[in-house]
Structure 1
Amino acid sequence: MTPLDYEYLRRLLKERSGLDLSTDKQYLVESRLLPLARRAGLSGITELVQKMKSGAEQLTCDVVEAMTTNETFFFRDKIPFDHLNDSILAELARSRAGRRSIRVWSAACSTGQEPYSIAMCLREFGPALSGWRNEIVATDLSHEVLEKSKAGLYSQFEVQRGLPIQLLVKYFTQLGEFWQLSADIRGMVQHRQLNLLQDFSHLGKFDVIFCRNVLIYFDQETKTSIFERMARMLEPDGYLMLGAAESVVGITDAFRPCPDRRGLYQLNPARMARSAGGALLPGLKVVAAR
């Protein structure tokens, strides 16, 4: 791969997916795209780039998918799901008792382990949510990973990573070398292909947004835009969950960290008050900063 090839790919990936590759990530591009080039019958990345420049749109889409497919596993990092189980669901059970529904967005859901982990948390919460209309919207840029997520079919290796044995036994059926997630849990999740760089307001309002381990690949301007748009889609008392290496600090004042709950954020009441022209939005109250 020549330096010019790499620069072309960097610009294309930034434009199409928001992925902001530094100048020292050429090895990553080669490791992900060389197998793709060979499957397409091409000699290497230089020929791959030439084909893309000639207008091979499907090949270009395949390149973007190959570069934006990230690792995931059930109950990844544990702490976000502790927050969900220990406090968030109890709060929502009280505050949403009138409408008896909860909406959660799993952004950049990859192969589905995150939204299905959320679904199992909702199902395991108990009688307080029995009979509720709970909906999880799982989105990703990659059509390939969404198809895998829809199937809910995972290898022995995948179910061994983070999934408690009691949940494996309760919600999965073994099919040869694979494990099939129950139709009941799969039915709680709606899958939609979505590019976070584009408008996503059509998804509607959410009580909780999981957007973990994806914004670290974007530049600050792109992060700011995504945070601002997500803020408009979150209920006034809702929650935003970020990855362990991510933060809103220094990027946007639309959210404020939740004290003593790492990775968890809520809408900033002062900012929302200013946005509403001085009138607080329903459910918000100004709290003195700590």
Structure 2
Amino acid sequence: MTLTAQEFAFISSLVRRDAAIVLEPGKEYLVEARLMPLARQTGASTVSEFVLRAQQRPEPDVHRRIVDALTTNETSFFRDGEPFTAMTSMVLPELLERRAAARHLRIWSAACSSGQEPYTLAMQMQDNLPAGWTYEILGTDISTEMLARAEAGQYTQLEVNRGLPAASLVRHFERVGAHWRVSPQLRRNVSFRRLNLAAPLPPLPSFDVVFLRNVLIYFDVETKRSVLQRVSAALKPDGWLFLGSAETTIGIDDRFERVVTGRTSAYRLKAATTAPLGAYGKG
């Protein structure tokens, strides 16, 4: 049974209110496909019946699960490749100079899904930081289900086959039955918390690098602008921001400048391009 216009409008409004995700008309099939498992879990015979119940008996947990189901969670280790190449070839060498006094790096993986991105960054830090340096990585996401998977740090053979080099698998994972689990050495440097980028952010530390990839494409322009403003407040003045390949700050937030980093690009606050090395070494 196809969702009625009223039912689709209810779901669209809910997802926009709670996650700022825009579901345009024409996405009815996507909504039905994503909500069908939830409908079956609750005993509803159709998605329409499930939506009607959600309307008539509003329950925060049910609404949260609807938002979780309609949040895109596509991810993989070293996804798209080039941003991670830029991290080791250009960004990290500069940060090693700028942070020589503190010898500590802090990275935020926003919208981290099931954890592959923050663990990829942790592998890079583990493999490339000089002796005596420390690091911490924060992974955040709106989906509690995805965060539970990320915290468990356990992946199927298919998941580790997607982008993870064999050498990294051997070095940073341990076999657990038919699955692979992230090593304790990596896990102790990575933490996770639930966070809605489209809402006012809780107090956060300042970060040297923020990965905000493949998130802004789901927001309207005003939400993109507000998200970038919030993220920039948590970015060190000379920090680096990585977006998805189809995303940009151009025409949205003019405080950022696009910087070519090898075969991809990243963004920095404009003042950072003239700041001398060592200007932001502490914090």
Normalising by structure 1, what TM-score?
Answer: 0.90
Secondary structure of 2:139's counterpart equals: strand
Equivalent residue number for residue 178 of structure 1 = 179
Gaps of 5+ in 2: none
- When the two chains are superposed, the root-mean-square deviation of aligned CA atoms in Å is 1.8
Q: 1:28-39, aligned counterparts within 5 Å?
A: 28-39=30-41
Aligned 8 A contact 1:255 1:268 in 2: yes
Aligned 8 A contact 2:112 2:140 in 1: yes
Equivalent residue number for residue 12 of structure 1 = 14
Q: Which amino acid aligns with 1:141?
A: I
Residue 252 of structure 1 deviates from its aligned partner by: 1.1
Q: 1:22-171, aligned counterparts within 5 Å?
A: 22-53=24-55, 54-126=57-129, 128=130, 130-171=131-172
Q: Which amino acid aligns with 2:107?
A: V
- Residues 222-246 of structure 1: CA distance to partner in whole angstroms, max 9, x if unpaired? 0000111211211111100000111
Aligned 8 A contact 1:206 1:235 in 2: yes
- Residues 255-278 of structure 1: CA distance to partner in whole angstroms, max 9, x if unpaired? 1100355330000229x99xxxxx
1:202 aligns with 2:193: no
Secondary structure of 1:203's counterpart equals: coil
Q: Which amino acid aligns with 1:30?
A: E
Q: Which amino acid aligns with 2:193?
A: R
Query: Could you tell which deviates more after superposition, 194-203 or 205-214?
Result: 194-203
Aligned 8 A contact 1:14 1:20 in 2: yes
Normalising by structure 2, what TM-score?
Answer: 0.92
Q: Point out which structure has higher relative CO (alpha carbons under 8 A, 6+ apart).
A: 2
Secondary structure of 1:259's counterpart equals: strand
Aligned 8 A contact 1:237 1:266 in 2: yes
Residue 175 of structure 1 deviates from its aligned partner by: 1.4
Aligned 8 A contact 2:86 2:261 in 1: no
Q: 1:247-266, aligned counterparts within 5 Å?
A: 247-259=248-260, 261=262, 262-266=264-268
Equivalent residue number for residue 278 of structure 1 = none
In 2, distance between residues paired with 1:190 and 1:235? 20
Percentage identity across paired residues of the two chains? 42
Aligned 8 A contact 1:152 1:181 in 2: yes
- Residues 12-43 of structure 1: CA distance to partner in whole angstroms, max 9, x if unpaired? 10000111111111111111001210111012
CA spacing shift, 1:29–1:155, aligned 2, 3 Å: same
Secondary structure of 2:11's counterpart equals: helix
How many residue pairs match? The answer is 273
Gaps of 5+ in 1: 274-281, 285-290
